[in-house]
Amino acid sequence: MYSISTLLIRNLREVFGENDPARRRAAIDELYTEDGVFYDPTEGAYRGCEVIDRIAGEIRATHPDFQYQPIAEPEEVGNGGRVARRQLTPGLISSSPGKAVSPPFISFSTS
pLDDT at 102: 45
Q: How confident is the model at residue 104 (pLDDT cuts 50, 70, 90)?
A: very low
Round to whole Å and give the CA distance between 66 and 88: 5
Total number of domains constituting the chain: 1
Q: How confident is the model at residue 18 (pLDDT cuts 50, 70, 90)?
A: very high
Look up the pTM and report it: 0.75
pLDDT tens string 37-74: 888 878 888 999 999 999 999 989 988 888 888 888 88
Looking at residue 92, which CATH number applies to its domain?
A: 3.10.450.50
pLDDT at 109: 52
pLDDT tens string 19-44: 999 999 999 999 998 988 888 878 88
pLDDT at 106: 52
Range of the domain at 78: 4-109
